[in-house]
Amino acid sequence: MTKVKIKRGDNVIVTTGKNKGSKGEILEVIKKEGQEPRVIVAGLNIVKRHTKPSAGNPQGGIVEKEASIHISNVALLDDKGNATKVGYKVDGDKKVRVAKSTGKTL
């Protein structure tokens, strides 16, 4: 399984697909055994799901929600709003994430 360098709350840009160029915040990182990691980005990759009436949703109907995107199709944004790769640096006794483009901590 690949190492996940993107966390919940990070701002990312979509690099490929129908939402290419769109920016958003990571809502969830999905890591399942035997599968590649995926992320859910707020307001992007919206799909429609037809739901049956249930106790939680007595009306049922068509619900719009965010679908997951493969983690390789998103790139982390630095403080200037540009896509960057993630590196690591030991700062004192802590390991911190660093933007490769600017060298600043994330």
pLDDT tens string 11-26: 999 999 899 999 999 9
Query: What does the domain layout of the chain look like in residue ranges?
Result: 11-99
Lookup: tokens for 15:
């690099």
Model pLDDT, residue 56: 86
Rounded distance, CA 84 to CA 68, Å? 21
Q: Record the pTM.
A: 0.82
What is the fold of 11-99? SH3 type barrels. (2.30.30)
Query: Within the chain, which residues score under 50 in pLDDT?
Result: none
Model pLDDT, residue 57: 86
